[in-house]
Structure 1
Amino acid sequence: MSELRTKAAHTEAIRQDRRVAVVVNTRSRRGRRHYFEVIDQIHALGFEPMAELSVSNPKRLRSLLDQALETRPDLLIVGGGDGTLSSAVRHVAHRDVALGVLPLGTTNNFARSLGLPLDLAGAIGVFATGKVADIDLGMAGDRPFANLASFGVSVEVAGTVKPWLKRILGRPAYPLTALRVLPGHRPFRAYITVDGKRHELFTHQLNIANGRFHGGWQLAKDVSIDNGMLVAYQLGSGKKLRLLGETLVRATTGRWRSLAGGPFVMGREMLLETDPPMPADVDGEVRLLTPIRLRVVPNGVRVMVPDDFDDR
């Protein structure tokens, strides 16, 4: 872990020295279309990036992030969807460099959790007018994550949803794909142990969140990405129609209960077991298999956020 400046000193360095590097995933929903616009707008703010890199092959993302960090920027600007940004989070975690987020994906859950404008001009403007903040880092086993670990039907949806459908429809591509996947999906039992208490669920879908958003919609009115807690919750139950109903209500009305009144389990550390063992979708990448121990690392990642962001 590198020695970190104070957030105020880091913010001042970005505004004065303007040492930035830029990495844009041009395979993301809007990355290819807006790449040159992004670069032009960053230059227009007075930044002269030490690296301007486009990612056309996802397999090269990690090496290009490393290449950008070798220029020793104060601000690493990354454009792409949640998977791209999750990889960037892993690169900057515990380092004296802030992550600047360009929301170029389909759902942009991470950008929404940071309170960023979703239009390019607004998001880029934050690099000049915003501030440096420290947010929580989730850990699933030894794998860091920024936003969400999910289990159940969403894992199958993530592997099934067509890229062209996401490009055309955006967020609705996921619930529409779920309609096709759900009839053949089998419910499972999940056991979540928090602070010595074991909770049992029977469901089609379980999420464990560090951030505030899933599928582009807010999880609960008072979820935060910097409160030092993970939040576990199920959608629906073991009944397919109930899962479908709850998903549609949230997707169309945005109605979410408060953490105090909803079916949420909260804690700094959780042990998740499932019957049968199940794969996990961790910020868009299906890598791990239950049982999994999840925990939160408070203030594990440094990011650039709007000046009115409530930095605890």
Structure 2
Amino acid sequence: MTLAERRALLLLNPNARNGDQDVDAALQRLRDAGLTLIELDPDGPDDVPSCIRRHAYDAELLIAGGGDGTMNSVAEALMDTDLTLGVLPLGTANDLARSLGIPDDLEAAAAIIAEGRTVRIDVSEVNGRPFFNVAHVGIAAEIPRNTSQVEKRYFGPLSYLLAAIRTWRSHRSFNARVQLDGRPQRLRCTQLSVGNGRHFGGGMVIDADARLDSGQLVLSSWKLRSFWRLVLIGLAMRRGQHRYFSEVLQASASAIEIDTDVPLRLTADGEEFGHTPATFRLHPARVAVRVAQDDAGAAHVDG
């Protein structure tokens, strides 16, 4: 079947933020390429996976318009169906799109869906729930609770820095028992992160070598001494160079388990995922997604 004959399910998050960009122009770009769009209307966020499954045989593509929370909401249904994901980045951070080399410009993103190529990427799960980007325990897991929706709308990714400042004031270090492919370690941490993708937090890089098709999870453990060290390491993390700080431990594995002395909040893709203990599994090459023909994200996916 040619692209011009394809049908696509369309899921748009009406509350997502991407400046004043014209979503209608991006959708028209898709229609002009010959795609028939079938707009979904789930009964709330919890109905998203079921709604996609109900219509999975009506289309070959699922076009998701939203931020990383929206992408996370469709992950389970993508794993259960043969649908290929097309990303319209409408959120604040858009870290999955960034890892895939998909620009924030909606018409350019629509062109990738229409004219790009398909690759397969890994999906991780923690305690049975899938995620694309990075999961956190510790200070980064508390940041979403301290992030104002008003700040997100007006300041974009800068809102996460403001939330980090507020979160630091009340943070506590913790003890963690970690297993990397069955190898035990004991760590004293301010933050533990487990990455499937490359980016999180509006462009932070979990590891300079992280890829969405690596078949490996990345563990990043921080033991911070001061807020200013957090700032310095955070700046280095924009380039994935935080591994060179003495407070940071980086490791990789295909399976990771984390337990803590008391249950601690767990987040992934910016969403609440419960509490520790946490068991991470990797599903290699589990989801198909559209990327650019010239693959601007060549360092992030191969295909």
TM bracket, shorter-chain basis: 0.7 to 0.9
TM-score, normalization: structure 2? 0.88
Q: Distance in 1 between the 2:144 and 2:57 partners? A: 33
Q: What residue is the counterpart of 1:301 in the other structure? A: 287
Q: What residue is the counterpart of 1:4 in the other structure? A: none
Q: Distance in 1 between the 2:174 and 2:116 partners? A: 44
- The answer on 1:232 being equivalent to 2:216 is no
Secondary structure in structure 2 of the residue aligned to 1:263: strand
Secondary structure in structure 1 of the residue aligned to 2:36: coil
TM-aligned CA distance change 1:96 to 1:14, over 3 Å: farther
TM-aligned CA distance change 1:234 to 1:30, over 3 Å: same
Q: What residue is the counterpart of 2:298 in the other structure? A: none
Secondary structure in structure 1 of the residue aligned to 2:35: coil
Q: What residue is the counterpart of 1:311 in the other structure? A: 302
What aligned pairs does 1:205-216 form with structure 2 within 5 A after superposition?
Answer: 205-216=191-202
Which of 225, 232, 240 is residue 256 of structure 1 equivalent to? 240
Q: Deviations over 1:127-158 (max 9, x none)?
A: 12211111101010211111111111222211
Q: Distance in 1 between the 2:220 and 2:163 partners? A: 21
Q: What residue is the counterpart of 1:107 in the other structure? A: 93
Q: Is the 8 A contact 2:233 2:242 kept in 1?
A: no
- Give, as a single letter, the amino acid of the residue that structure 1 aligns with 2:24: F
- The answer on 1:24 being equivalent to 2:12 is yes
- The answer on 1:276 being equivalent to 2:267 is no
TM-aligned CA distance change 1:237 to 1:265, over 3 Å: same
Secondary structure in structure 2 of the residue aligned to 1:101: strand
TM-score, normalization: structure 1? 0.85
- Give, as a single letter, the amino acid of the residue that structure 2 aligns with 1:24: L
Q: Distance in 1 between the 2:209 and 2:161 partners? A: 24
- Give, as a single letter, the amino acid of the residue that structure 2 aligns with 1:130: G
Q: What residue is the counterpart of 1:7 in the other structure? A: none
Which of 53, 56, 66 is residue 69 of structure 1 equivalent to? 56
Q: What residue is the counterpart of 1:170 in the other structure? A: 156
Q: Which sits farther off after the overlay, 91-100 or 195-204?
A: 195-204
Q: 1:279 Cα shift?
A: 1.9
Q: 1:204 Cα shift?
A: 1.8
- The answer on 1:246 being equivalent to 2:233 is yes
TM-aligned CA distance change 1:68 to 1:23, over 3 Å: farther
Q: 1:55 Cα shift?
A: 6.9
Q: 1:31 Cα shift?
A: 9.0
Gaps of 5+ in 1: 1-12
Secondary structure in structure 1 of the residue aligned to 2:93: coil
Q: Is the 8 A contact 2:121 2:287 kept in 1?
A: yes
Q: Which sits farther off after the overlay, 133-142 or 28-37?
A: 28-37
TM-aligned CA distance change 1:24 to 1:163, over 3 Å: same
Fraction of identical pairs, as percent:
32
What aligned pairs does 1:89-128 form with structure 2 within 5 A after superposition?
Answer: 89-128=75-114
Q: Distance in 2 between the 1:127 and 1:40 partners? A: 12
Q: Distance in 1 between the 2:60 and 2:194 partners? A: 31
CA-based RMSD? 2.5
Q: Is the 8 A contact 2:9 2:63 kept in 1?
A: yes
Which of 140, 143, 146 is residue 132 of structure 2 equivalent to? 146
Q: 1:166 Cα shift?
A: 0.6
TM-aligned CA distance change 1:239 to 1:40, over 3 Å: same
